[in-house]
């Protein structure tokens, strides 16, 4: 295999940028995200409960190796700005945006395992070619929502044990109405305690690190499923 030139990397970067721009424009044009009518969504703001209890963390946890490598290559996606809000104040418009982003990314990205896609067990990345597994979906959702102005600090990558007993990555949105989960397995945005998952750990809101959620004593080393 020949060596890649600087221009090859620049071209790849431009291709990724165009992909994200097109996807973001599709959200804005196709769904009217922030200003869309809430009643256009099956999950309306009015349907939310008065507030679910937030999940409690319990000390530090070891991060997934795939996340560590991702952060080395994309430090801006992992940095924690403690000047940002810890929780999002939900409004009908913000809820509508969250639900729409979850649904649209789930529809636009083709599910494929890292082994099938890249020949490795677990690789965290933004799905620039339109393919990815669980963590790739959630990283893209967070990027889009952060680009729309939501505080990244309130949107935490989270590792769970799913319904088939495997490690799985979801995006936890921390709000003044409780903690909600964005998941590539469903277009419904659910309260964390309504997913049926066992919660293992999530990114810290105080530093580039992880905290334990106490749901299981043996932590998965990968999140390698679709």
Asked if pLDDT for residue 15 goes beyond 70, the answer is no
CA distance 154 to 143: 12
Span 11-21, average pLDDT: 44
**What pTM, to 2 d.p., does this model score?**
0.79
pLDDT at 43: 67
pLDDT at 51: 58
Of 71-75, 79-83, 211-215, the range with the lowest mean pLDDT is 211-215
Span 90-112, average pLDDT: 95
Which has more confidence, 171 or 58? Answer: 171
Helix, strand and coil content of the chain, in percent to the nearest 5, comes to 40, 20, 40
Q: Which residues of 32-70 are buried (b: 16+ CB within 10 A; e: fewer)?
A: ebeebebeebebebeebeeebebbebeeebebbebbeeb
Task: Give me the chain's average pLDDT, please.
Answer: 81
Which has more confidence, 10 or 148? Answer: 148
pLDDT at 141: 98
The percentage of residues in the chain with a pLDDT greater than 70, rounded to a whole number, is 74
Which distant-in-sequence residues (6+ apart) come within 8 Å of 20 by Cβ?
A: 126, 128, 143, 144
Which has more confidence, 223 or 198? Answer: 198
Residue 68 — very low, low, confident or very high, per pLDDT cuts 50/70/90? very high
Asked if pLDDT for residue 73 goes beyond 90, the answer is yes
Asked if pLDDT for residue 165 goes beyond 50, the answer is yes
Instruction: For 11, list phi and psi in degrees, rounded to 5.
Output: -65, -40
- In terms of Cα–Cα distance, which of 118, 113, 122 is closest to 64? 122
* Domains of the chain with CATH codes: 6-44+55-212 (3.10.620)
Asked if pLDDT for residue 108 goes beyond 90, the answer is yes
pLDDT at 45: 78
Q: What would the two tokens of residue 68 be?
A: 């560590």
pLDDT at 121: 87
Q: What would the two tokens of residue 220 be?
A: 């998965």
């Amino acid at each position: 295999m020949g060596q890649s030139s600087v221009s090859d990397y620049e071209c790849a970067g431009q291709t990724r940028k165009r992909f994200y721009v097109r996807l973001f424009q599709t959200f804005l044009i196709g769904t009217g995200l922030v200003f869309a009518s809430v009643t256009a969504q099956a999950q309306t703001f009015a349907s939310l409960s008065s507030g679910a209890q937030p999940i409690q963390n319990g000390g530090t946890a070891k991060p997934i190796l795939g996340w560590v490598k991702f952060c080395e290559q994309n430090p801006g996606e992992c940095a924690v700005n403690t000047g940002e809000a810890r929780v999002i104040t939900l409004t009908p418009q913000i809820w509508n945006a969250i639900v729409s982003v979850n649904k649209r990314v789930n529809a636009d990205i083709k599910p494929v395992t890292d082994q099938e896609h890249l020949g490795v067990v677990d690789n965290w990345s933004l799905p620039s070619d339109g393919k990815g597994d669980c963590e790739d979906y959630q990283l893209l959702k967070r990027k889009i929502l952060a680009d729309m102005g939501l505080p990244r600090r309130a949107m935490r990558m989270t590792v769970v044990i799913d319904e088939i007993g495997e490690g799985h990555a979801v995006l936890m949105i921390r709000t003044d109405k409780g903690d909600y989960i964005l998941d590539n397995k469903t277009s419904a945005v659910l309260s964390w305690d309504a997913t049926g998952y066992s919660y293992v750990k999530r990114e810290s809101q105080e530093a580039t690190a992880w905290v334990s959620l106490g749901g299981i004593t043996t932590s998965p080393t990968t999140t390698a499923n679709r």
